[in-house]
Amino acid sequence: MFHKEGHKIIVITLLIVVGGYLLADSFIETTWLRTIIMLVLLVFLILILQFFRNPKRLTQLNDEQVISPVDGKVVVIEEVFEKEYFKEKRLQVSVFMSPINVHVTRYPIGGNVIFSKYHPGKYLVAWHPKASEENERTTVVVENKTYGKVLHRQIAGALAKRIVNYSKVGDTAVQGGESGFIKFGSRVDLYLPLDTKIKVALNQKVKGGESIIAEINE
């Protein structure tokens, strides 16, 4: 199953690959060179298909937990001052996505979308300290009565040239449901209440819609 954001790119890639195969087969007489070109085209197609895959995820709905919004690796767990929306200290958990990860962004909690804003910006590498403030990004805040407010921020990386955000103020967010998509390598930041109990560790691999990032500290 492939994500709708990739349908156009997949069709174009398929046409390029098929055209390349036909041209190589018709005009390149050297067997080894023709084989290499065909293999390169095939690998290119496989990479595109892998990037836009959209596997089903079994989200266990729980208003007391925050789940990972994306696939990737946890690269930041720290207390920071969130400047855009909360304007106070929060726990930041950041997940970095490589180009081979699934890039669907999912709602970390269920509730109501109370804030959604797009920011144009730079394309620094996603792990750069200033990426969350200077890169192209979108900020979404979801609130529910049990957990409170959780902010997740899509951040474009050096390869990501388009962020898609489906969230609009007033929408009902379903935990694990799609909130957006980032095309090519990037990261997502979560900003959580200070009394949150973090359930992941640095460098841990997480799965969007399934891995538990944090829960209410009883």
Q: C-alpha dihedral over 86, 64, 174, 72, to 10 degrees? A: 80
Task: Report the candidate in 183, 118, 116 with the shortest Cα–Cα distance to residue 151.
Answer: 116
Q: Which of 68, 94, 179, 186 is catalytic?
A: 186
Rg (CA), the chain: 20
Token pair in block for residue 96: 């970095």
Token pair in block for residue 138: 């979108």
Q: At which residue do the structure tokens 């509730």 appear?
A: 111
End-to-end CA distance of the chain: 39
94 is catalytic: no
Phi/psi at 114 (5° precision): -110, -5
* Cα–Cα separations (whole angstroms), residue 33 to 38, 48, 101: 9, 23, 31
By annotation, the residues acting in catalysis are: 186
